[in-house]
């Protein structure tokens, strides 16, 4: 039996679910032709025939969720670039920028104080 995606990427399940939700929202925005908070992501690609349509870095089959997960796990930029030599510093910056924008664009329901 295959490991769930969040175990393969190496992050916790709750973190994986947050990343997946952000990815779904990002895909919806891209399909609608909208820019995320006025920013156009030139290094993030979504191709239905690659990685199941997940957002990737420059079509390299390196999912955005993988890069964000590596940072969440405490890897440095140099460590990530060493692990994925095809990546560039700007790729990591845009991955983080997307994640930040995806979170700020999302409205979360708040529980009222009793």
Do the Cβ atoms of 19 and 65 come closer than 8 Å?
yes
Q: Quick check: is 9 in a domain?
A: no
Look-up of token digits 């908070």 = 37
Look-up of token digits 């490991």 = 3
Per-residue pLDDT of 20-58, as tens digits, reads 677 676 666 655 555 555 556 788 888 888 888 888 898
Q: Quick check: is 6 in a domain?
A: no
Q: Quick check: is 98 in a domain?
A: yes
> Which pLDDT band holds residue 6 (cuts at 50, 70, 90)?
very low
Q: Quick check: is 38 in a domain?
A: yes
Do the Cβ atoms of 54 and 103 come closer than 8 Å?
no
Q: How far apart are CA 25 and CA 94, in angstroms?
A: 16
Do the Cβ atoms of 43 and 58 come closer than 8 Å?
yes
Question: Which CATH number belongs to the domain containing residue 81 in this structure?
Answer: 1.10.10.10
Q: Return the higher-pLDDT residue of 114 and 44.
A: 44
pLDDT at 59: 86
Q: Quick check: is 111 in a domain?
A: no
Q: How far apart are CA 96 and CA 68, in angstroms?
A: 7
Residues with Cβ < 8 Å from 69, sequence gap 6 or more?
Answer: 9, 10, 11, 15, 16, 19
To the nearest whole number, what is the mean pLDDT of the chain? 75
Residues with Cβ < 8 Å from 51, sequence gap 6 or more?
Answer: 61, 63
pLDDT at 49: 83
Q: Quick check: is 1 in a domain?
A: no
Q: Quick check: is 40 in a domain?
A: yes
pLDDT at 28: 65
Q: Based on the structure, what is the number of domains in the chain?
A: 1
Provide the domain limits for residue 61.
18-103
Q: Quick check: is 92 in a domain?
A: yes
């Amino acid at each position: 039996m295959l490991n769930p995606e969040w175990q393969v990427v190496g992050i916790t399940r709750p973190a994986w679910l947050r990343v997946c939700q952000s990815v779904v929202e990002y895909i919806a925005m891209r399909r609608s032709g909208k820019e995320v908070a006025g920013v156009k992501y030139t290094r993030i690609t979504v191709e239905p025939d690659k990685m199941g349509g997940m957002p990737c870095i420059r079509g390299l089959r390196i999912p955005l969720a993988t890069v964000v997960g590596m940072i969440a796990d405490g890897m440095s930029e140099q460590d990530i670039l060493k692990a994925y030599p095809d990546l560039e510093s700007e790729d990591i910056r845009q991955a983080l920028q997307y994640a930040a924008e995806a979170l700020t664009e999302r409205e979360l329901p708040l529980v009222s104080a009793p």
